[in-house]
Amino acid sequence: MGKVNYRERIARRAEKEINDGDYVNLGIGMPTLVANYISEDKTVVLQSENGLLGIGPYPTEDEVDPDLINAGKETVTSIPGSAYFTSAESFAMIRGGHVDVAILGAMEVSEKGDLANWMIPGKMIKGMGGAMDLVHGAKKIIVIMDHVARDGSAKIKKECELPLTGKQVVHKIITERAAIDITPDGLELREVFEGFTIQDVIDSTEAPLIVKNVIENVK
């Protein structure tokens, strides 16, 4: 399975965390892909922190409006029933606990659910954007990411080494190898995806995993 298919697998699995009627914020990059896989029998409203509730599909060339973008600065459309608002209103929605699910990318996640996804000291300064607000506001925080870094090192760690985005904020991690819940007792391995074994996941995760009721060979 290639990189592209892994991304699709992760996005499809993340979609299962979204319920009918949910208001959902999708982060930039892989999380944005989740929108492509939302089941037709669910009504889901996507929130974009730049001030749009009800993101629609990408526009046709004729529909492109430079004043209508998502938080990733991509041109989008809005669905019937959508609303535009200010950035302050947008984050009132987020901080106020009105968003049901937020799906974000990550550089590192700790066993306590600490998240690092905004800065590599001395190397990369992009800024946190809305991530620090989102992780404290949305009811369910899901991280989707590659299981290991490009150099093969673990991204799921005992402690994050990079500057944090939030402490004890992540509820679930979904990678191309596994779905893992963050519980008060630690990281609980829930699902292992086809092509990987429980041992593969343990070996590529720095933090200890609770292995009790694991579903294997999940497609």
The residues that are catalytic are 49
Per-position x/- string for 81-100, each x denoting binding to another protein as judged by CB under 8 A, each - no binding: ---xxxxx-xx--xx-----
Of 36-44, 46-54, 141-149, 185-193, the window that binds another protein (rule: CB under 8 A) is 46-54
Per-position x/- string for 179-218, each x denoting binding to another protein as judged by CB under 8 A, each - no binding: ----------------------------------------
Taking the C-alpha atoms of residue 189 and residue 44, their distance in angstroms, rounded to an integer, is 28
Q: Please classify residue 154 by burial: count the beta carbons closer than 10 Å to its beta carbon, then call 0-12 exposed, 13-18 middle and 19+ buried.
A: middle
In one-letter notation, the amino acid at residue 138 is A
Q: Find the binder of another protein among 47, 165, 175, 204 (CB under 8 A).
A: 165
Of 19-27, 139-147, 161-169, 194-202, the window that binds another protein (rule: CB under 8 A) is 161-169
The gap between the terminal CA atoms of the chain, to the nearest Å, is 11
Q: Are 59 and 99 in contact (CB under 8 A)?
A: no
Q: Find the binder of another protein among 130, 138, 156, 209 (CB under 8 A).
A: 130
DSSP 57: P
Place of tokens 């009721």: 213
Give the Cβ contact number of residue 206 at 10 Å.
15
**Is residue 29 part of the contact set for another protein (CB under 8 A)?**
no
Taking the C-alpha atoms of residue 107 and residue 112, their distance in angstroms, rounded to an integer, is 15
Per-position x/- string for 54-73, each x denoting binding to another protein as judged by CB under 8 A, each - no binding: ---xxxxx--xxxxxx--xx
List residues near another protein by CB under 8 A: 48-52, 57-61, 64-69, 72-76, 78, 84-88, 90-91, 94-95, 114, 122, 124-133, 136-137, 163-168
